[in-house]
Structure 1
């Protein structure tokens, strides 16, 4: 693995590549627990605060809203202070936001969630840019990065409740303990990546280029990311509650969410490799899109019809679909772009709009539950949303590329 990009003094010139991979992984592990860790605690959280299902769902939607709202800010921050310093700052903010949730007022719970979500948004955009700059062949590292995102989510889903109980923590302490992981990541990131002062300006593009949405391909890539993220955040927010309502123990619901994210790590690792191999074929990545949509449909249908029977199969299928779908969405941004600059701009557009759409998922599903008293309508909606996702994925998987926009 070698360095690439316009940076005169690359990090890889002074640090072993495997250490850079470790640094990327520990940062990636932090990019989902602050969001996913809320789901297993929603029952206790709502009982203590009196929040409705819709307001409880907002706690998982707010970070996703921040992913979209702050995505265009990340490249500008990296240009000003250096890419590595910006990632380090995101870890500091993540720890601060997580700690704010310890405060008693409900407003602090939401405020801390916003700070944590903004911090994750910066890392969401800049860590892939760092990988692209530092590795001549970033595909494998992106697969590891995508898998680490899912593993971090799995840790939060599976360990938040049992670890909190083992340590005698209430729901606030159990939620805030993930801030320790951000501090540990900062301790690894700074010695390995440095501050990046010599690399200021390496992120040449100021942000997203909205003109890309004039192209059908740009719209489809953006919609595919948005629909995939809606599926993930919508179901992840309520899966433990859904399974508890179906008769499963509360702790088991959290563990099954962890199973979904672990199988998602497998899908996330494999999808970029398969997408690359399919790139030279006349059908592009369309066979992979069909396979992932079939996994989505089977998993959701199983949870709708037989939530307490074969549950492990349903959540595993959904996990493979969501992990592979997210990794495919990131890969399509790269494959459908003629230049790295276009990829950076398309990534800004797709993450901004895609995550803003996805943020409505937990709230809408929670509101439907409040209105109907069950989860059938919520799962039915997710099944219906597979239709626009299929349309977007089918078009985005074509072996064509977007032209370079004339201006940002």
Structure 2
């Protein structure tokens, strides 16, 4: 094979990391649009339906810290491949195995996706070391695209056949992605060094102050994101008198501008040691959007745009921070697991706490005030985490 052809083939294989991202959300986002049909067919009440939606996030939290153990035993590429096969099987079977299969399958789906959540950003750091933030932005764009695709197609597939096929079909996508990924598993991975990139012996990330700052940023960003995703339409209807149809449009706008924010923020994360500009740019809009919903709810479309830009940028910033602050592949894998375990625990609790506070207080003012305070804490943590003070 000539050198240009070999280089092109290598680049294509490397780019398969982005293809994996397509499969990391459809099994989750396809559920919401068909949840009423699912609940009616399987006799699940609203509380059980809400728990079903939260279960994958809890699986993320439990599985994420354990991913590095499998990664060290069989390698990152092979671990991702196995997780894709597990995702394919669990996605395809869970709609057809009754209530027990639905619950177990959803938990397994969440655990399989957690592997990709943790390892793909680490692989991107390794393969795109000179362009981590830009590559992370592309990765999150693929995640968003996969999520949107499943959301849009869920109801048409359910109308044409039934809700079961609407969920099961995404197992087929995972199979396709696994086949595309397979060439990466055929070559032995290089053995990673036992020390970090700065030559310092590895220390557990759970004992590193910087790791806790990164984790705090990831957790708070995830918490506000799932508040918006779960409650934005309800907040708008309750506080701003917005119509139900308009709130659906606003949520779509929120997601579109999230994509724009995610693709734009890498420009501000390029500095090798100081990412404060990017982290502030990602964090402040989230705070402004929450304060806007609290103080001027009639301008909901404005806050959907502002919040979407911040959330999209915030996810890329959080994932980039994990890659930039991890010193070596093992430490980055552990940091990714730690940040996502804590982050998704908070994300799972956030919508529940929001609903409880609103129910107890009889309105959204206290809830929005609490979450705006958390967003302000994210700004502070982002400022602290934005400059890595460890020696290069």
For normalisation by structure 2, the TM-score amounts to 0.82
Q: Could you say what the CA RMSD is over the residues aligned between the two structures, in angstroms?
A: 3.3
Gaps spanning 5+ residues in structure 2: where?
Answer: 1-5, 196-201
Which residue of 225, 232, 237 maps to 1:232? Answer: 225
Query: 1:258-312 deviations in whole A, cap 9, x for unaligned?
Result: 43233222222222331123x56xxx333333332331133334445666x5544
User: Is 1:64 matched up with 2:64?
Assistant: no
Of residues 78, 83, 86, the one that matches 1:93 is: 86
8 Å CA contact retained: 1:217, 1:402: no
Question: Shift in Å at residue 125 of structure 1?
Answer: 1.6
2:338 paired residue number: 349
- How many Å apart are 1:86 and its aligned residue? 1.6
Q: CA deviation at 1:118?
A: 0.6
Residue-by-residue CA offset, 1:43-78 (whole Å, 9 max, x unaligned): 554555565554433223221222222123322223
Q: Is the 8 A contact 2:232 2:251 kept in 1?
A: yes
Q: Deviations over 1:186-240 (max 9, x none)?
A: 23222xx3324522755979xxx88434343222111111111112233323445
* Match among 390, 401, 407 for residue 379 of structure 2: 390
TM-score by length of 1: 0.79
User: Alpha-carbon deviation of 1:115?
Assistant: 0.8
Residue number among 273, 281, 289 corresponding to 1:291 in the alignment: 281
In structure 1, what is the equivalent of residue 148 of structure 2? 154
Question: What count of residue pairs does the alignment treat as equivalent?
Answer: 378
User: Structure 1 CA distance, aligned partners of 2:45 and 2:323?
Assistant: 40
In the TM superposition, 1:319-338 aligns within 5 A as 319-338=308-327
Aligned to 1:6: none
Q: What secondary structure does 1:276 align onto?
A: coil
1:145, distance to aligned residue in structure 2 (A): 0.9
| 1:164 counterpart (139, 157, 161) | 157
Please name the residue that 2:14 is paired with. 20
Q: Is the 8 A contact 2:13 2:184 kept in 1?
A: no
Q: What is the distance in 2 between the residues matched to 1:301 and 1:164?
A: 39
Distance 1:370 1:285, change over 3 A: same
Q: Which residue of 2 aligns with 1:406?
A: none
Task: Give the drift of 1:27.
Answer: 0.9
| C-alpha distance after superposition, 1:146-205 (max 9, x if no partner) | 2212222232344433x336x434444333333332222223222xx3324522755979
Query: What does 1:2-401 correspond to in 2, within 5 Å?
Result: 15-21=9-15, 23-46=16-39, 51=44, 53-103=46-96, 105-139=98-132, 140-161=134-155, 163-164=156-157, 167-190=159-182, 193-196=183-186, 198-199=188-189, 201-202=191-192, 211-239=204-232, 248-249=243-244, 256-277=250-271, 279=272, 284-304=274-294, 310-368=299-357, 378-401=367-390
Q: Deviations over 1:107-132 (max 9, x none)?
A: 33221211111111111122122223
Secondary structure of the corresponding residue to residue 72 of structure 1: helix
* C-alpha distance 178-337 of structure 1, shift in aligned 2 (>3 A): closer
Are the equivalent residues in 2 in contact too, given 1:67–1:120 (CA < 8 A)?
yes
For 2:235 and 2:153, the matched residues in 1 are separated by 18
How far has the Cα of 1:373 moved from its partner?
Answer: 6.8
- Aligned equivalents of 1:44, 1:370: Cα separation in 2: 26
Out of 37-46 and 181-190, give the one that drifted further.
37-46
In structure 1, stretches of 5+ residues that fail to align are 1-11, 404-408
- Structure with greater helix percent: 2
- C-alpha distance 195-26 of structure 1, shift in aligned 2 (>3 A): same
Match of 1:7 in 2: none
Contact 2:237 2:247 in 1 (8 A): yes
Change (3 A) 1:362 1:100: farther
